[in-house]
């Protein structure tokens, strides 16, 4: 489990031969359009500051051209920054030597791509052990680790199949198994599920959440889909034109959009799936309500369904350590969902 988060500080990326010459102009208010029209340079990222928590899923979302894929490629320095830092374990990735960066990429990070990026001439097992081969891991150990993760992502029995024999969802499972086999602290996922059909996409989200519950990796997940961001993200940063417009938990963003741009994003969101039990719970447990216990992190919709199915009108609420910290009533839960839906 990762013990350190990722700290992105004052990060700028200006694409073009003389990007560093225009940092001050951009800081002074020059827009992306002005920079391109006047100087033929493209503003990729502007003054990005994000603390990505260790052992959690940080979602970065935005529309096409917002800078989200550019940002994730700075974490393993596939793209060189114009200015700023990306710190992990108190080391600035942007200042690493070539050999240090190579070791960081091989041992600390793993990446899952939108287009799967599987080697067509290698089988499922061959693709999964590839990163371990680069690390110099013993052949038998590499195979053992790969088989464990192939099974974990639901591909047992397909070890000797080639990518062209697999569906898109199965190919992405191979990509995930390959990344997990490396046992890297940081998992970088760039639109990893965007090419999948909706049902398969939802299934892969569930696989990722189940694995994350066990491993607690530091995951950076790029998406343009708000529903996906809200389902996966412990924290979300929303980008527009290379700038962070708002960041926080899904609940914070949905309940308090920073501007009309964010408000437009979230207007169709089912708030019952975003607002947590903790938001409306009473701080006093109910005697005799132990027939059903909900977690404070459960969403209102989940809570309402659980109480209705158990034919209970109330429930106690526990924290992550299973300590009872409060209670909730079905009537209050439904009222909160109705009220939230009106906003």
- In the chain, what percentage of residues exceed pLDDT 70? 97
Measured over the CA atoms of residue 49, residue 252, residue 2 and residue 177, the dihedral's sign is negative
Pick the CATH number of 6-108+184-269 from 3.40.50.970, 3.40.50.300, 3.90.1150.10, 1.10.287.540: 3.40.50.300
Query: What is the pLDDT confidence band of residue 290, given thresholds at 50, 70 and 90?
Result: low
Every domain of the chain and the residues it spans? 6-108+184-269, 273-341
Domains 6-108+184-269 and 273-341 share a fold: no
The string of pLDDT tens digits covering residues 47-74 is: 999 999 999 999 999 988 899 999 999 9
Token digits of residue 295? 């977690």
Q: Tell me the range of 2-11, 275-284, 286-295 where mean pLDDT is highest.
A: 275-284
Q: What is the DSSP letter of 79?
A: S
Q: Give the pLDDT of residue 115.
A: 73
273 in Cβ contact with 286 (< 8 Å): no
Query: What is the pLDDT confidence band of residue 265, given thresholds at 50, 70 and 90?
Result: confident
- On the 0-12 / 13-18 / 19+ scale of CB atoms within 10 A, 288 is exposed
Q: Give the pLDDT of residue 2.
A: 47
Task: For residues 310-330, give the mean pLDDT.
Answer: 90
133 in Cβ contact with 142 (< 8 Å): yes
Out of 19-28, 268-277, 283-292, pick the least confident.
283-292
**Cβ-Cβ contacts under 8 Å for 168 (sequence gap 6 or more):** 116, 195, 196, 197, 200
Residue range 273-341 forms a domain whose CATH class is alpha beta
Measured over the CA atoms of residue 105, residue 110, residue 112 and residue 116, the dihedral's sign is positive
For residues 261 and 259, give the distance between their C-alpha atoms in angstroms, rounded to a whole number.
5
Helix 198-215 vs helix 168-181: crossing angle, to nearest 10:
20
- Residue matched to tokens 């039990």: 277
Q: How many CB atoms lie within 10 A of CB 56?
A: 16
Q: Give the pLDDT of residue 288.
A: 65
Comparing 161 with 134, the larger pLDDT belongs to 161
The pTM of the full predicted model, rounded to 2 decimals, is: 0.84
Token digits of residue 88? 């992990």
Task: For residues 255-273, give the mean pLDDT.
Answer: 83
In 164-284 the beta strands, taken as DSSP E runs, fall at: 186-190, 218-223, 235-240, 243-248
Residues constituting the chain: 343
């Amino acid at each position: 489990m990762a013990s350190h988060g990722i700290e992105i500080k004052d990060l700028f990326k200006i694409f073009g031969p003389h990007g560093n010459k225009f940092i001050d102009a951009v800081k002074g208010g020059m827009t992306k359009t002005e920079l391109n029209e006047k100087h033929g340079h493209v503003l990729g990222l502007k003054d990005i500051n994000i603390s990505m928590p260790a052992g959690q899923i940080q979602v970065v979302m935005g529309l096409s051209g917002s800078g989200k894929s550019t940002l994730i490629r700075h974490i393993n320095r596939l793209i060189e920054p114009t200015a700023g830092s990306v710190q992990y374990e108190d080391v600035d990735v942007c200042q690493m030597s070539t050999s240090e960066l190579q070791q960081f990429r091989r041992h600390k990070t793993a990446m899952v791509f939108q287009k799967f990026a599987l080697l067509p001439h290698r089988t499922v097992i061959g693709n999964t052990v590839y990163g371990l081969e680069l690390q110099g891991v013993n052949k038998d150990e590499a195979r053992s680790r790969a088989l464990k993760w192939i099974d974990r992502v639901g591909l047992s029995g397909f070890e000797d199949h080639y990518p062209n024999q697999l569906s898109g969802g199965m190919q992405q499972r191979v990509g995930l198994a390959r990344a997990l086999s490396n046992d890297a602290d940081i998992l970088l996922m760039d639109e990893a599920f965007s090419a999948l059909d909706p049902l398969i996409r939802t299934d892969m989200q569930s696989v990722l959440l189940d694995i994350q519950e066990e491993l607690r990796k530091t995951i950076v997940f790029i998406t343009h889909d708000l529903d996906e961001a809200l389902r996966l993200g412990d924290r979300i940063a929303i980008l527009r034109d290379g700038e962070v417009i708002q960041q926080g938990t899904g609940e914070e963003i949905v309940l308090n959009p920073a501007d009309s741009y964010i408000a437009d994003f979230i207007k169709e969101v089912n708030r019952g799936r975003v607002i947590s039990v903790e938001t409306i719970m009473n701080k006093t447990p109910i005697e005799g309500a132990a027939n059903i216990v909900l977690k404070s992190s459960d969403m209102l919709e989940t809570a309402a369904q659980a109480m209705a199915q158990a034919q209970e009108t109330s429930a106690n609420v526990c924290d992550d350590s299973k300590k009872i910290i409060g209670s909730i009533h079905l009537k209050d839960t439904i009222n909160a969902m109705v009220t939230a839906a009106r906003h």
